[in-house]
Homo-oligomer: A and B are copies of this chain.
Amino acid sequence: MAALELFVTRGFAATKLADVARAAAVSKGLPYLYFKNKEELFKAVITEAIGGPLAEATDMIDRFEGSSEDLLRGLIAGFRTFEESPAGGVVKLILAEAGNFPDVARFFCTHFDARGRHLFARVLRRGTESGEFAPIADIETTAIVIVQPLAMFSVWRRSLAPFDASNNLTSDRFYEAHLDFVLKSLRP
Residues of A within 8 A of B (CB): 9-14, 92, 94-100, 102, 105-106, 108-110, 113-114, 134, 137-138, 140-142, 144-146, 148-149, 151-153, 155-156, 159-160, 162-166, 169, 173-174, 176-178, 180-182, 184-185
Contacts and interface: CB of A to CB of B under 8 A. Distances in A.
Contacts of A94: 159-160
Nearest to A99: B9
Query: Which of A140, A151, A152, A173 has the largest count of B CB atoms less than 10 A from its CB?
Result: A152
A17 to B, nearest CB: 14
Contacts of A163: 98, 102, 105-106, 109
A14 to B, nearest CB: 4
Contact of A148 (B10, B102, B149, B159): B149
A97 B163 CA distance: 12
Contact of A100 (B14, B156, B160, B165): B14
A68 to B, nearest CB: 17
A151 B113 CA distance: 17
A137 B144 CA distance: 24
Contact of A98 (B14, B97, B160, B181): B160
